[in-house]
Amino acid sequence: MEIDSETNSNEKKIVVEKEEDEKSNKDIVVVLMGAPGSGKSTFCEHVMNAARRPWVRVCQDTIANGKAGTKAQCVKSAVEALKSGKCVFIDRCNLEREQRSEFVKLEGLKVDVHAVVLDLPARICISRSVKRTGHEGNLQGGKAAAVVNRMLLKKELPKLSEGFSRITYCQSESDVEDAVSVYKALGPLDILAPGCYGQKKPDAKIQLGIMRFLKKVEVPETAGSTKNSAEDAIPKQETKEPSSKESETVTLPVENEDVEMKKDVPTLAFPSISTSDFQFNLDKASDIIVEKVDEFLGKIGNARLALVDLSHRSKILSLVKEKAVKKNIDSAKFLTFVGDITQLYTEGGLRCTIIANAANWRLKPGGGGVNAAIFNAAGPDLEIATKEIAGSLSPGRALVVPLPSTSALYRKEGVTHVIHVLGPNMNPDRPNFLNNDYDKGCKVLREAYSSLFDGFASTLSNQATKSASGSMDLDKYSLEKHPGDHFPSTNIKNKREDAYEHERIKKSRGLKNATGNEDGMSYATEKKPEKTWGSWSLALYNIAMNPERHKNILIEILDDVVVLNDLYPKAEKHLLVLARKDGLDRLADVREEHLPLLKTMHDVGEKWAKKFLSEDPSLIFRLGYHSDPSMRQLHLHVISQDFNSTHLKNKKHWNSFNSLFFLDSVNVIEEISKHGRPKLNDGDNLLAMELRCHRCRSAHPNIPRLKSHISKCQAPIPATLLENDCLVLAESGAVSQT
DNA sequence: GTTCTAGAAC
DNA sequence: GTTCTAGAAC
Q: Which of the nucleotides lies closest to A503 (Cα–C1')?
A: C9
For A64, list phi and psi in degrees, rounded to 5.
-95, 80
Quote the pLDDT of residue A534.
86
Q: How far is CA A42 from the centre of its chain?
A: 20
A147 in contact with nucleic chain B (CB within 7 A): yes
Q: Taking residues A168-183, report their average pLDDT.
A: 89
CA torsion sign for A88, A93, A99, A104 is positive
Q: Please, which pLDDT band fits residue A255 given cuts at 50, 70 and 90?
A: low
pLDDT greater than 80 at residue A567: yes
Residues forming beta bridges with residue A169, ordered by sequence position:
A117
Q: Which of the nucleotides lies closest to A60 (Cα–C1')?
A: C8
A509-514: long-range contacts, CB 8 A cutoff, minimum separation 24: A509/A279, A510/A685, A511/A685, A511/A686, A511/A689, A512/A428, A512/A429, A514/A660, A514/A681, A514/A682, A514/A685, A514/A686
For A117, list phi and psi in degrees, rounded to 5.
-100, 115
A536 in contact with nucleic chain C (CB within 7 A): yes
A534-564 pLDDT tens trace = 888 999 999 999 999 999 999 999 999 999 9
Spacing of A30 CA from C6 C1' in Å = 27
Set out the domains of chain A in order of their start, with CATH numbers. 3-236 (3.40.50.300), 254-502 (no CATH), 512-729 (3.30.428.10)
Spacing of A662 CA from B3 C1' in Å = 29
Spacing of A453 CA from C2 C1' in Å = 54
Q: Which of the nucleotides lies closest to A702 (Cα–C1')?
A: B4
Contact status, residue A341 vs residue A376, Cβ threshold 8 Å: no
Q: Please, which pLDDT band fits residue A5 given cuts at 50, 70 and 90?
A: very low
Q: Which of the nucleotides lies closest to A69 (Cα–C1')?
A: C8
Nearest to A7 by CA among A156, A204, A198, A158: A198
Quote the pLDDT of residue A465.
56
Cβ partners under 8 Å of residue A731, min gap 6: none
Q: A272: which DSSP letter?
A: P
Nucleotide B6, nearest residue via CA and C1': A650
Contact status, residue A243 vs residue A330, Cβ threshold 8 Å: no
Question: Which stretch of A3-7, A41-45, A558-562, A622-626 has the lowest confidence by average pLDDT?
Answer: A3-7
Query: What's the N-to-C CA distance of chain A in angstroms?
Result: 76
A649 in contact with nucleic chain C (CB within 7 A): yes
* Top-confidence residue, A232 or A676: A676
pLDDT greater than 60 at residue A520: no
Residue A336 and residue A474: Cα distance in Å, rounded?
28
Residue A336 and residue A705: Cα distance in Å, rounded?
28
A117-157 pLDDT tens trace = 998 877 777 777 766 654 443 444 556 677 777 777 777 88
A411 in contact with nucleic chain C (CB within 7 A): no
CA torsion sign for A15, A16, A21, A25 is positive
pLDDT exceeding 90 applies to what percent of chain A? Answer: 36
Residue A512 and residue A527: Cα distance in Å, rounded?
27
A630 in contact with nucleic chain C (CB within 7 A): yes
Nucleotide B10, nearest residue via CA and C1': A536
A534 in contact with nucleic chain B (CB within 7 A): yes
Spacing of A381 CA from C8 C1' in Å = 40
Nucleotide C9, nearest residue via CA and C1': A68
Q: Which of the nucleotides lies closest to A688 (Cα–C1')?
A: B6
Contact status, residue A665 vs residue A625, Cβ threshold 8 Å: yes
pLDDT greater than 50 at residue A500: no
| Strand B footprint nucleotides (protein C-beta < 7 Å) | 1, 3-6, 10
Nearest to A459 by CA among A323, A342, A363, A356: A356
* Cβ-based contacts (< 7 Å) between A 691-720 and strand B: 701-705
Nucleotide B4, nearest residue via CA and C1': A702
Q: A633: which DSSP letter?
A: S
Q: A117: which DSSP letter?
A: E
Spacing of A648 CA from C3 C1' in Å = 14
Residue A107 and residue A89: Cα distance in Å, rounded?
14
| Strand C footprint nucleotides (protein C-beta < 7 Å) | 1-3, 7-10
Q: How far is CA A626 from the centre of its chain?
A: 28
Q: Taking residues A299-312, report their average pLDDT.
A: 87
* Top-confidence residue, A531 or A91: A91
Spacing of A650 CA from B6 C1' in Å = 10
In terms of residues, how long is chain A? 738
* Top-confidence residue, A727 or A367: A727
* Mean pLDDT of all residues belonging to chain A: 78
Spacing of A70 CA from B7 C1' in Å = 13
A650 in contact with nucleic chain B (CB within 7 A): yes
pLDDT greater than 50 at residue A504: no
Residue A665 and residue A629: Cα distance in Å, rounded?
14
Coil, helix or strand at residue A705: helix
Q: Which of the nucleotides lies closest to A535 (Cα–C1')?
A: B10
Q: How many C-beta atoms lie closer than 10 Å to residue A328's C-beta?
A: 8
**What is the DSSP code string of A553-579?**
TEEEE-SSEEEEE-SS-SSSSEEEEEE
Catalytic residue check, A635: yes
Q: Which of the nucleotides lies closest to A534 (Cα–C1')?
A: B10
A490 in contact with nucleic chain C (CB within 7 A): no
Q: Which of the nucleotides lies closest to A704 (Cα–C1')?
A: B4
* Cβ-based contacts (< 7 Å) between A 321-360 and strand B: none
Whole-prediction pTM: 0.39
Nearest to A419 by CA among A446, A445, A457, A466: A457
Nearest to A423 by CA among A393, A401, A445: A445
| DSSP H helices in A339-397 | 370-378, 380-389
Quote the pLDDT of residue A130.
67
Q: Which amino acid is at A398?
A: A
A626 in contact with nucleic chain C (CB within 7 A): yes
pLDDT greater than 70 at residue A292: yes
Q: Please, which pLDDT band fits residue A189 given cuts at 50, 70 and 90?
A: confident
* Cβ-based contacts (< 7 Å) between A 75-104 and strand C: none
A383-406 pLDDT tens trace = 888 887 777 888 888 888 888 788
Of residues A635, A637, A694, A709, which has the active-site annotation?
A635
